[in-house]
Structure 1
Amino acid sequence: MNEQLLGEWETEVEADATRVRTRFPAAAREIGRSPATTDPGAERVEDDVRGRLLEALARGADGATVDREVHDLYRFGDADERRAVLRGLHRVEPAPAEGWAADLVHDALRTNDPRLVAAALGPYGAAVLDDDAWRQAVLKCLFVGVPVDLVHGLDARVDDRLLTMIASYADERRAAGREVPADAERLLATTDTTTQPGQER
């Protein structure tokens, strides 16, 4: 990774927020790129570069400008750029407003792109999704093949309702003669198996 050039870009973006529109898409090409992978949770150089550009943006611009620029980066970006935005949302400090980018998280969760679904369930997504939306997002991981280990704070947030939903999903898969995802089996097996639907653990 070209740290010197990245430092120059950070200074540039901090001084002029609109420069992020040019620098963000160019990050992989000009600063650094990790090898291509289908792993939705892979740590990639270009994600970190773009995260640092978001930090620079937040340091130099007011909340309304940060909000506008980040939303535009997501709206007009390709899948890799959208992934980087989602992965970097928690790095935007101070946040423009409470829940300011929740709409981006929900948009990503409506896709079937494992990279975006996984990125949406990082620290920012975990903080802004209410319990019902979060449970549905975990189920979405099972549907699209995102390892649930990528869900930020999963162990602390699993509850009986989620387990009941997963159990119903697994039963439907078995009834249809389809394989149950290993993550679903693992979540059900590593919790109190004596819990019945509707009971408290």
Structure 2
Amino acid sequence: MTAPTTTVAPATVHHTLTLRALAEGLGSALGHDHRARLARDLEAVTEQGPAALDSRFPAAGRVYGRGRLSGWAGWSIEDGVRTRLLTRLDLEGPELAHELTDRYRTGDAAERRGVLCALPFLPLGPHALHLTDDALRTNDNRLIAAALGPYAHAHLDQYRWRQAVLKCLFTGIPLAKVAGLHERRDAELARMAAGFAAERRAAGRTVPADLWLIATHHS
């Protein structure tokens, strides 16, 4: 089964977020031997299912590298590899969400990021929102940023989405990392941002320079 592509583009990524673009990006980033190995690993997941991920998913960083993935703001090579591996699973909906939950719960921070990055590429519907919620409760800025990608833009309800955006202001995550910010910002978020700014000024603290992105709202 081939996972559907998404046409939602995060504000910091200047191309359409598709599996084809991801495959091309990894193809440019990896050397010949690693490209060949990735092809074999992808085929193994297609043929063997989740069991093939047991060793390959955790090892993605060690095997393929942890450097930045050029053209994919905030992504590393291992994020891209893990995403491609997960898209080869012949699962969907609750069954796929259960598999992702296992990978997320037992993985380290890098593996959790890999799961979060993969969400918009997978046939999940809203069934993986508990993973987004978990990441947003952490104090790990890389997990929070990954959780606010196209999947959250498509599925997170407006109340939780506003709270997540406000957490970005508190933790110093650039608002440009929030997928769909301009489409989903509203008057209530602008009110919350104004209150946040007033509290910061009263405490003699600086106001994030990018707060203006949500401080005003035009219907």
Structure-1-length-normalised TM-score: 0.84
1:12 is aligned to 2:14 = no
Displacement over 3 Å in runs of 4+: 61-65
Preserved CA contact (<8 Å) 1:87 1:119 = yes
1:49 is aligned to 2:81 = yes
State the one-letter code of the partner of 1:85. Answer: V
- Note the C-alpha offset of 1:13: 1.0
| Cα separation, partners in 2 of 1:103 and 1:62, compared to 1, 3 Å | closer
State the one-letter code of the partner of 2:84. Answer: R
- Larger CA Rg, structure 1 vs 2: 1
CA distance in 1, matches of 2:91, 2:128: 16
Structure-2-length-normalised TM-score: 0.78
Q: Residue 85 of structure 1 aligns with which residue?
A: 115
- Note the C-alpha offset of 1:187: 3.5
Of residues 109, 120, 130, the one that matches 1:103 is: 130
| Cα separation, partners in 2 of 1:101 and 1:64, compared to 1, 3 Å | closer
Preserved CA contact (<8 Å) 1:113 1:144 = no
CA distance in 2, matches of 1:65, 1:99: 12
**Root mean square deviation of aligned Cα:** 1.7
| Cα separation, partners in 2 of 1:21 and 1:186, compared to 1, 3 Å | same
Relative contact order higher in (CA < 8 Å, ≥ 6 apart): 2
Preserved CA contact (<8 Å) 1:21 1:69 = no
Percent of aligned pairs sharing the same letter = 48
1:166 is aligned to 2:198 = no
CA distance in 2, matches of 1:102, 1:119: 13
1:176 is aligned to 2:203 = yes
- Unaligned runs of 5+ residues in structure 2 are 1-29
Number of paired residues? Answer: 182
Preserved CA contact (<8 Å) 2:189 2:214 = no
1:67 is aligned to 2:90 = no
Structure 2 matches for 1:98-177, cutoff 5 A?
Answer: 98-177=125-204
State the one-letter code of the partner of 2:167. Answer: K
